[in-house]
Amino acid sequence: MTAMSSLSTSPYKGTRDYYPEQKRVQNYIFKVWKEVSERFGYEEYGAPMLEPLEVYAAKTGQEIVGEQTYRFTDRGGREVAIRPEMTPTISRMVAGRRQEMAYPARLFSIANYMRYERPQRGREREFWQLNADIFGADGAAPEAEIIQLGAEVMKTFGAKDSMYSIKLNNRQIINAMMHDYLALDAVQAELMVRLFDRKNKISNEEFRDQAIEIFGAEAAPSGLKKIAELLVAKGIDDLPKEIADTEAVKEMKELFETLEAVGVTNTVFDITLMRGFDYYTGTVFEFFDTHPDNNRALFGGGRYDGLVGLFGAEPLSAVGIAPGLSMTELFLQTHELMPELSTATEVYIVVVGEADKAATKLAAKLRTEGVNTELDNTGRKLDKQIKTAVKKGVPYMLFIGEEDVKKEIYNFKDTKTSEEEKLSFERVVSRIKDHRRNKANQDDDLV
């Protein structure tokens, strides 16, 4: 008989375990997302983890649906998918209450998703995102608001404008570029959009060779020349006339002006920005880290006016943004913006001698007063109990022995400074709540 091999302690590839110290980071990021979203008047919603596959097949994009979606047939014979994103889901939900909702509808969620893609730094198979969307508002104002919300998230994390840039483009400008300027047919245009979307991830030689293949040998010389003219454009005013005279360019100029008026000035027009989803219909944008150690897209979003109409409801305009947990965490670490995050436990009761029952009663009494209390009920020696409290980072220790119970005066120790004092129960509660208020004020300064 062969010995049974032990089970692996590793999580499923591309997913993460969140031990308490990682969970504190996650909760901190989620807290900022939630507070900023609510600051802008957005209301929280929730949605199922599973959706019919057709919800994504309609507009999400073949790469996501065909190659990255976790999909299966359920026991009822239905084709379903673990959600790879939230935009189609919230569009379905809005369509379901199209006539009942008040517009503009500002909605947000913080949820997890799964995509079967190659795990790499900042990109995992299970990932968490904030999704904030505004439905039923046209023009540059809601687009500026969504981008401003993203900028406010960054500012709340402590980021300065110089730490990131906001790249903008417009799918209507992209369409004009592909069809009117580069004279591509529908198939060629789709291939070229995908190529431009990978522009910064491949070499110039690879980009050129693939562009030649898309154009065809005869049209390639002229086409490559036109692409070169596009790539040297530093702003909207540098675009070729065939694109510059479009309505989309006017809308883009208005968006830049609106953003500047609300103090969002670290913006740049980027003709290569495509955003991979098929459902975008207008403005698209990405927040981009400028640090040389993490020089990459952080998160993005854009306008998608067609999705609600796919669910049989009257079409409705929509703009959204979706910051991700892992990229946010990398940004904070790279720029040294991650605050010191500690345990929620406020006091650790160290039991001296035979005071177990009294310590249990005292712990219950503290919890009744709203104090987060951990009781060491192991019966271990004093030094081991103290080491545990220190290792866990609990800010205070409360020592209780038989004499302390009689006098109702307890040794109260600051774990960090090792300062000790003798306090009554009421003073212990008061000291801990003072510490809590001070910590809350410090957290408010961070958020």
Q: What was the pLDDT predicted at 395?
A: 96
pTM: 0.91
pLDDT at position 276 over 70: no
Tell me, yes or no, whether 55 and 132 share the same domain: yes
The residue among 282, 306, 334 that closes a domain is 334
260 found inside a domain: yes
Q: What was the pLDDT predicted at 223?
A: 93
pLDDT at position 205 over 70: yes
Tell me, yes or no, whether 172 and 250 share the same domain: yes
135, 317 Cβ separation under 8 angstroms = yes
310 found inside a domain: yes
Q: What was the pLDDT predicted at 331?
A: 98
Tell me, yes or no, whether 57 and 116 share the same domain: yes
Tell me: the pLDDT tens digits for 8-24? Answer: 999 999 999 999 999 99
Range of the domain at 369: 347-446
If one compares 443 and 216, the residue with the highest pLDDT of the two is 216
Q: What was the pLDDT predicted at 226?
A: 93
Span 229-254, mean pLDDT?
88
Q: What was the pLDDT predicted at 306?
A: 86
Tell me: the pLDDT tens digits for 331-388? Answer: 999 999 999 999 999 999 999 999 999 999 999 999 999 999 999 999 999 999 999 9
Span 149-161, mean pLDDT?
98
434 found inside a domain: yes
pLDDT at position 60 over 80: no
219 found inside a domain: no
Q: What was the pLDDT predicted at 366?
A: 97
157 found inside a domain: yes
Tell me, yes or no, whether 330 and 355 share the same domain: no
Q: Is 88 helix (H, G, I), strand (E, B) or coil?
A: helix
Banded model confidence at residue 120, pLDDT cuts 50, 70, 90: confident
Banded model confidence at residue 298, pLDDT cuts 50, 70, 90: very high
Q: What was the pLDDT predicted at 61?
A: 63
The residue among 334, 369, 402 that closes a domain is 334
pLDDT at position 315 over 70: yes
Tell me, yes or no, whether 89 and 169 share the same domain: yes
Tell me: the pLDDT tens digits for 224-234? Answer: 999 998 888 88
Q: What was the pLDDT predicted at 194?
A: 87
The residue among 311, 334, 357 that closes a domain is 334
If one compares 152 and 175, the residue with the highest pLDDT of the two is 152
Banded model confidence at residue 411, pLDDT cuts 50, 70, 90: very high
164, 335 Cβ separation under 8 angstroms = no
Of 71-75, 202-206, 207-211, 244-248, the one with minimum mean pLDDT is 244-248
Phi, psi of 423 (to 5 degrees): -135, 150
Tell me, yes or no, whether 296 and 374 share the same domain: no
Report how far residue 45's alpha carbon sits from residue 91's, in angstroms, rounded to the nearest whole number.
12
Tell me, yes or no, whether 77 and 166 share the same domain: yes
Instruction: Give the sign of the dihedral formed by CA 234, CA 240, CA 243, CA 247.
Output: positive
Tell me, yes or no, whether 107 and 81 share the same domain: yes
Task: Please give the order of strands across the beta sheet that includes 409-414.
Answer: 373-375, 347-351, 396-400, 409-414, 420-424
pLDDT at position 158 over 60: yes
Q: What is the CATH number of the domain that holds 417?
A: 3.40.50.800
Q: What is the CATH number of the domain that holds 29?
A: 3.30.930.10
pLDDT at position 1 over 60: no
Percent above pLDDT 90 for the chain: 79
Tell me, yes or no, whether 82 and 166 share the same domain: yes
Span 271-279, mean pLDDT?
80
Q: What was the pLDDT predicted at 59?
A: 66
pLDDT at position 3 over 70: no
Q: What was the pLDDT predicted at 275?
A: 80
Average pLDDT, the chain: 93
Q: What proportions of the chain, in percent to the nearest 5, are helix, strand and coil?
A: 45, 20, 35
372 found inside a domain: yes
340 found inside a domain: no
Q: What was the pLDDT predicted at 29?
A: 98
Span 39-53, mean pLDDT?
97
Banded model confidence at residue 392, pLDDT cuts 50, 70, 90: very high
Neighbours of 313 (CB within 10 A): 16
Tell me, yes or no, whether 353 and 282 share the same domain: no
Q: What was the pLDDT predicted at 2?
A: 53
Tell me, yes or no, whether 166 and 287 share the same domain: yes
Q: What b/e string do you get for 48-85 counting C-beta neighbours within 10 Å, with b at 16 or more?
A: eeebebebbbbbbbeebbeebbbbeeeeeeeebbbbbb
Q: What was the pLDDT predicted at 17?
A: 96
Tell me, yes or no, whether 285 and 356 share the same domain: no
5 found inside a domain: no
pLDDT at position 4 over 90: no
Banded model confidence at residue 154, pLDDT cuts 50, 70, 90: very high
- The enclosing H or E element of 193 equals helix 186-197
Of 138-142, 179-183, 237-241, the one with minimum mean pLDDT is 237-241
Number of domains in the chain: 2
Banded model confidence at residue 241, pLDDT cuts 50, 70, 90: confident
- Give the burial class of 91: count Cβ atoms within 10 A of its Cβ; 0-12 exposed, 13-18 middle, 19 or more buried: buried
Q: What was the pLDDT predicted at 242?
A: 81
